Chains A and B, each alone.
Chain A
């Protein structure tokens, strides 16, 4: 067998933004019919590189050649014409349009808008395993199906080279397997994939070759069959590695959060989004909630935070003297003041003001407390000083505290939030997906901080889609399915696969 031709070659790509070099001298060679993984921490420059390859940004130096010819990609249309398609991490779908409309949009010229387009769409849906009716609104689809719509969209435009940008970040293990199955089948049909990820097990299971990027430049290209995840990770981070394992148990018998019989009705009907949820988190304990997204975890967190009003049940929180106090009727601010720290699931929507400097983000949620405020007036000077302390202690990589929060990478934004939430001396931390979309380095630091706080007696309610994280950090795991806590797992013995099947309800009959 001869070595297949390279279909995509990036040589000496350099891209500078004001103040930063996002890519410097990057080399990447992708051969036809392979799955080529690009690995790196968040902020390492993977996204910029892919934006360059997809024509969304132009490189300052270097050349791109597709199929042996040097091309200039000025916009995504050029890239599509060259046969390159991209499935974005944040889906580029219009929720209020149907599946068919989303696929056809912008490519109406290829097969028209009538029967021929419908036939082509059906064929591609078959190939990618999309079973949704083409006339349903995208709004009604789950994430896995949305992702497939994105893939169909790319294929409909005739792409042979598909960039998948962190495709597994939003999927549960079973869905990941199904996706990989599809990718393998399509690879044998001659499609080429560029697979962006920082989940190394996945990379090793799917990729034929791996290129590692660190600090904006390529570290090397390796064969995933011959390296271990550890070696790969060390290439990415350039140093020793983190793991989510908590060492000794620090669980006390002092309850900090007690939820009993909590119920939440859906906005428009009497269907329960949360049904009879009861749990207790003790000081020094990390309680992990596992579950497929959309089964009520978000609502649980928001109800405990007071952002939604419970229909029934009580939420109690330990006050200073250790006595449990009913906080069911308190508002969000009062709950925060009572000692709840909150790492929101979507930091752009809930945790940060992207267009505000770091120091004013430090004030958010603490506007009534020292040191950033004296109760009535905000103290910007103190806020700046305290933000500098957070930046220092939590290793937030930023030129200064006057920088807008939106200018930081995801990992650094998250470190800032973690630092802020742990600075208010909370008794309880609610962490919803604390390391989602965060690079390995920041992940390690966040885990370390959570562990340290747990050691000091903090109670943590952890919701995560990353099963390794759940198993590694938690002292107890509860599984949530359709708004109920259905089962319990011991993190010391459970495997991600078992947990995954409990999450989809497959384990229910077995148990």
Chain B
């Protein structure tokens, strides 16, 4: 018997996630190589840029993973920033006394403690998630300052800085790297660009980067393929239902938020322990916790998406660092190209307003590119922040947010 079901929607065939990811990667590379060719800025796709992007993307990636774990369990974690700060101090301290691996462990531990504090406030005492997060950011900053004055000043003579600490060794896939290097130097269109970008990713890579990248599929597996992950996500979707099925919501939230802090701490450690980065420095986190959160939201609360987000921000940061204002201008040009593609897509889908918005954005960016030779140098360091704002404004339209996020939950209370 057929019954008409008014609420059933016809499921559209959609591209699987990996295919869409690959498609976007191809589009990104295409846009970058076109932009670098047309603007005569090879730095857009040089191996230096992608190497710096990887290094700078790591803290953001780890913060984003931290955000993913917490938010999937229904806890907003604005406190990532503070947990990262704790992680930077912890890793510098650990690395100074016990080497890089001890430093990494200490960084994770400090972040985890921050996470636990957030969990106590939010889960046990039902404090508003934002309030607790902001408190942890302030606390992290203060504690790190205090501890730095207490511990580092006698050694380094500067309360804002740690003594120099050991860094992770880096490894290169020599053969591959050389071959790609040769290819890059040939300066062939597209091919050299791809070679440059890839070369940066296989040259001078630290173990920490490898671990962090592996944590992305690992998080996917744990959260989506295991019983623990299902329970954790159910806490973020419908804690009442979860509790009624015997899931210990408090416990899972605790674990999730603690893990979130651990990831953030690791992100902090990656600022301190990578070659090319500073040692512990006051204010070195500089909003990366928030950017990580933004990358996670941009990635629609999914590990693959968050990887893309982190890559985007890492790239923007890496570019401004290695190429300066001129390179950022070239990136504007690339963004114009990307917007052109998006506008065409929106026109095909008949989303007139979105298309009009895209055209307006493209015009503004092109105007900036056309009228200025160099962007004001004061603004250049904030490139990733601008990218965050713009990308979030565009991406925040169609998100699937965990349903019970930020809600206070008390056992035994309905709704």
Contacts and interface: CB of A to CB of B under 8 A. Distances in A.
Interface of A: 56, 75-77, 80, 88, 90, 92-97, 101-102, 104-109, 113, 133, 136, 140-145, 153, 174-175, 178, 292, 294-295, 348, 482, 504-505
A295 B6 contact: yes
Contacts, number: 90
Interface in B198-227: 225-227
Instruction: Classify the interface of chain B: helix, strand, loop or mixed.
Output: loop
Given A96-B403, A104-B230, A105-B231, A294 B6 contact: yes
B241 A93 contact: yes
B5 interface: yes
A96 B244 contact: no
A95 B400 CA distance: 11
Interface stretch (B50-58, B167-175, B232-240, B271-279): B232-240
Contacts of B230: 97, 101, 104-105, 108, 113
6 contacts: A96-B402, A113-B227, A140-B9, A142-B7, A143-B7, A294-B6
Interface string B1-41: 00111111101000000000000000000000000000000
Interface of B: 3-9, 11, 225-227, 230-231, 233-234, 237-238, 240-242, 244-247, 400, 402-403, 412, 414-415
B238 A92 contact: yes
Most buried by A among B226, B227, B414: B227
A172 to B, nearest CB: 10
Nearest to B237: A94
B410 to A, nearest CB: 13
Given A96-B400, A104-B230, A174 B3 contact: yes
A108 B244 CA distance: 15
B403 A95 contact: yes
Given A113-B226, A113-B227, A94 B242 contact: yes
A485 B134 CA distance: 52
Nearest to A92: B241
A92 B238 CA distance: 8
Nearest to A107: B245
A143 B225 CA distance: 28
Contact of A505 (B4, B233, B242, B412): B4
A507 to B, nearest CB: 12
Please indicate which of the listed interface residues B230, B234, B241 has the most CB atoms of chain A within 10 Å of its own CB.
Answer: B241
Contacts of B238: 92-95
Given A105-B231, A140-B9, A294-B7, A80 B246 contact: yes
A105 B245 contact: yes
B231 A292 contact: no
Nearest to B403: A96
Nearest to B240: A92
B246 A504 contact: no
Nearest to A175: B3
A133 to B, nearest CB: 8
Given A76-B246, A142-B5, A142-B8, 17 more contacts: A75-B246, A77-B246, A88-B244, A92-B238, A94-B234, A94-B242, A94-B403, A95-B403, A96-B400, A97-B237, A102-B241, A105-B247, A108-B230, A113-B230, A153-B245, A292-B6, A505-B4
